[in-house]
Chain A
Amino acid sequence: MGKTLVEKILSQKSASDAKAGDIVIAKVDLVFAQDTTGPLTVRQFQTSGFERLVNPQKTALFLDHAAPSPNKELSTDHMLLRQFAQQTGCLIYDIGDGVCHQIVAESLAKPGDIIIGADSHTVTAGALGAFATGMGSSDIAVAFALGKTWFRVPESIKIIVSGNFPKGVYAKDLILHLIGQIGADGATYKALEFGGDTVDTMSIAERLTIANMSVEAGAKVGLFPADKMTKDYLTSQGRGDHYQPIFPDADATYAQTININVVNLEPTISRPHTVDNVALARELKGTKIQQVFIGTCTNGRLEDLAVTASILKGKKHHPETRLIIAPASRKVLLESIKAGYIQTMVESGAIILPPGCGACLGLHQGVLGDGESCLSTANRNFKGRMGNPNSFIYLGSPATAAATALTGAITDPREVM
């Protein structure tokens, strides 16, 4: 019987005939933690009596959530992680290097890999055909030491995407639409597997946005085939030798198949306080927004900043709406400077944050005031997510965010394009 993408990867890595529902033990190709989950990971590792990493070059720490640190406690956590890296020889990416998931995509993930990280958005690397999923600090600590973990092989939901994106509609709108359709627990314990003619020509940047948010439907992993687009992306990053093609079998078994024709989509928004609470941007026209935040592992890539700059070019942000932009990595920042996007954004009145998670999770760099609303390109709008339970978060594409920054209220980007 044919295999899904998940079954193919887990079969290969567990040296067994893995089928949905099986429990397998598989070797991991990359295991990582970040600065808000890493300290507990290090402590669990030490509590277990472990001293050595089984594979330091496949183990990474990222200092991205508090970059740079806003307080002494997190600064001390950073010290712990730097010391652990020095002692064990693992990879470390320090403040300013960028968001873990963006660096994993740029430099580390390979098609067919198994990647686990102490961060729920580890699923992002599914865009490159890697089985990538988030776990907690205990699981990650054990994988640091043993180089393996256990998985229940998930059933897959096939998402077949067809048609060409209309003007003003992007991958972000597609994934928000899908989550609205199946719900925030619509794929719990399952994998989302994307395919169809739209996917065949979809850039890796767009695939990363979609894979990133698969966890917002509860999915264990959001997987794309590794195809010509993947090969071209890896080659452009100087790692063409990391490519291997991976496709699902035509006779694979799926729990469910969902067809989406993107021709019918419009700019889409998630309303407070759950990601599946979706509406069209035009239906929310006029909703006042005090802060726009563009960036994160969902939408902080060069392609996102290109769209943002094209909308902002020669215009000023609305005086009552702050505009905060965080490139997802140092590489993205450098390329955005070279392309002139940063100049355009700064001239429009934007605040540019260092590469990292920025305002996304409420630590710093754009905490909302009581009663304020933010339109963010991030992946979560839970109550309190941006540092204040008495505030409101709307999620949308970079185009919708940029358009909203210009008008001061939620705006369908097609009005300004």
Chain B
Amino acid sequence: MLTGKTFKFGDSISTDHIVPGRLAHLRSNLPELAKHVLEDADPTFASRVKTGDFIVAGSNFGLGSSREHAPLVIKMAGVSAILAKSVARIFFRNAINQGLPVLICDTDKINDGDKLEVDLKAGTVRDITNGNELTFGKIPEVMLHILEEGGLIPYIKKHGDFKL
């Protein structure tokens, strides 16, 4: 069971909002890069987010670049899961490869600052602040296996190959 507070974002949060190209020189210094996570969407996010918190977004979260640094620094910031109406393809795969769950659900019913309880196994989200219960879409099985190992690199280290 994951519990934490929500930080709500709108639609079309791009990888440039999360880790912009102007900070490309920090990509080999991840702790420094993580201080700027989502800076161009909310400059206060990095200083306010706490371990276990959730990012809640609208549609097409993570559109744009293939930079895996985007989910990587979101995870480093302590975020336990991303909840969105929809998510861009490469970001989705990268997040799972980093062991960061991305859950597709109707986020209109969740407000900024709400406290959530997320049950990954049951596929449910309980908004403790407003009492709403939501379900999220199933993560494809192959990605679930990668997620369960904590990401693609731990998965490959364990299995040595893709075991689908």
Contact = CB atoms under 8 A, between A and B. Distances in A.
A367 B142 CA distance: 41
B68 A362 contact: no
Interface stretch (A130-138, A224-232, A247-255, A310-318): A130-138
A246 interface: no
5 contacts: A66-B24, A70-B25, A77-B28, A185-B88, A380-B64
A118 interface: yes
B66 A148 contact: no
B47 interface: no
B160 to A, nearest CB: 9
Contacts, number: 143
B163 to A, nearest CB: 10
A385 B14 CA distance: 10
Contact size range, A: 35 or more
Contacts of A220: 89
Given A138-B68, A184-B60, A389 B40 contact: yes
Given A65-B24, A138-B94, A188-B88, A120 B164 contact: no
Interface of B: 12, 14, 16-17, 20-22, 24-29, 40, 59-60, 63-69, 72, 86, 88-90, 93-94, 97-98, 140, 142, 151-153, 156-157, 161-162, 164
A135 B60 contact: no
A149 B25 CA distance: 29
A23 B162 CA distance: 12
A218 B60 contact: yes
B151 A135 contact: no
B26 A73 contact: yes
B162 A25 contact: yes
A141 interface: yes
A384 B17 contact: yes
A79 to B, nearest CB: 11
Nearest to B91: A136
Given A37-B67, A74-B24, A363-B21, A383 B14 contact: yes
